[in-house]
Amino acid sequence: MTLIALTGGIASGKSTIAARLASHGAVVVDADQIVRDVQQPGSPVLAGIAREFGADVITADGALDRAALASRVFGDAEAVARLNALVHPAVREESARRFAAASARPDAVVVYDVPLLLEARADDPWELIVVAHAPAELRRSRMIELRGMSADAADARLAAQVDDERRLAIADVVIDTAGTLEHTLAQTDRLWERLQGRESAG
């Protein structure tokens, strides 16, 4: 099994890269989906969030009110740390389970699609760290034009993230997503060929 991490800032094109790798046969494990899964109604994580941040972050049908929780923690580093202490161990355990399931196929290429790699898992034993990168101003435009966010909201999201220099510093491979979709996909295809070569060599 080849295990790689794929990360990038908001609106960096990371999902496009993940989808392309999946189309080639990679097993994509989505960290954001795992977060949602471990916060399902009735889960220990959700119960812990309610205890820590108040029952009003839970909807009437027992689900997490993500907007309410976000408003409670956004911009508050100490609150974010308390939330991460509840969520990250469960995410780590579930991601390990999914990696193990994928490893049943020796030639599997597993891509962990993880926005918060630098914050949470930079030191894990990845064979490659792949960073999707576009300049912050371009990502800001994408958030406003494609996601319908306000300029202030886009600026706040960018400000809350790790800066590009720190993210690029841990990269083994950088995929430049500032150009055309075709350019991004061509770079992703070359990455896949490299990964296949590593698998053959192994």
Which pTM was predicted? 0.88
Host domain of residue 92: 2-201
Does residue 82 have a pLDDT over 80? yes
The answer on whether 177 is annotated among ligand-binding residues is no
The answer on whether 141 is annotated among ligand-binding residues is no
Show Cβ contacts of residue 201 under 8 Å, excluding neighbours closer than 6 positions: none
Give per-residue pLDDT as tens, 49-76.
Answer: 999 999 999 999 999 999 999 888 987 8
Show Cβ contacts of residue 160 under 8 Å, excluding neighbours closer than 6 positions: 74, 75
Does residue 98 have a pLDDT over 90? yes
The answer on whether 200 is annotated among ligand-binding residues is no
C-alpha 79 chain-centroid distance: 20
The type of residue at 5 is A
111 contacts 7 by C-beta, under 8 angstroms = no
Query: Residue 202: its pLDDT value, please?
Result: 47
Q: How many domains does the chain have?
A: 1
Give per-residue pLDDT as tens, 154-184.
Answer: 998 888 888 889 999 999 999 999 999 999 9
The answer on whether 101 is annotated among ligand-binding residues is no
The answer on whether 11 is annotated among ligand-binding residues is yes
CATH number at residue 114: 3.40.50.300
The type of residue at 33 is Q
Give the 3-state DSSP-derived string for 133-166, with helices as H, strands as E and coil as C: ECCHHHHHHHHHHHHCCCHHHHHHHHHHCCCHHH
The answer on whether 48 is annotated among ligand-binding residues is no
d(CA 4, CA 1): 10
